[in-house]
Amino acid sequence: MGCHEVATRSAPLRYAPPPMEPPAPRAFPPAEAGTLLIVATSAVIGAATLAGWAAGSATGGLVVGAVAGVPVGIVAVYRRYRGFFR
């Protein structure tokens, strides 16, 4: 038995994709930064209030969470968008 060969009439592939271009830099997204600030601050306030409630003083935990939550939110935004601040 012999081999079966399929005759094809296709031209050699001469396709070359265009060179890749770097993506354009994104503009600073203030809505995303504001949302991240609110979420991070609220998470710290909620966790501290829960810890204060477990310790017997939900109000104290709320105050501590608010005082600690604002810097945590600022740091979270800075770490996420630090490339935009340079």
At 41, list the tokens.
């601050």
Place of tokens 């265009």: 18
pLDDT for residue 11: 58
Q: CA separation (Å) from 56 to 35, 40, 78?
A: 31, 24, 34
Q: Break the chain into its structural domains and give their ranges.
A: 30-85
Q: Is residue 34 helix, strand or coil?
A: helix
Q: What does the pLDDT look like over 24-77, one tens digit per residue?
A: 777 778 899 999 999 999 999 999 999 999 999 999 999 999 999 999 999 999
pTM of the model: 0.67
Reading the block at residue 48, the tokens are: 């501290």
Cα torsion at 44, 46, 48, 51 (round to 10°)?
A: -140
- Please report the pLDDT score of residue 50 as a whole number: 97
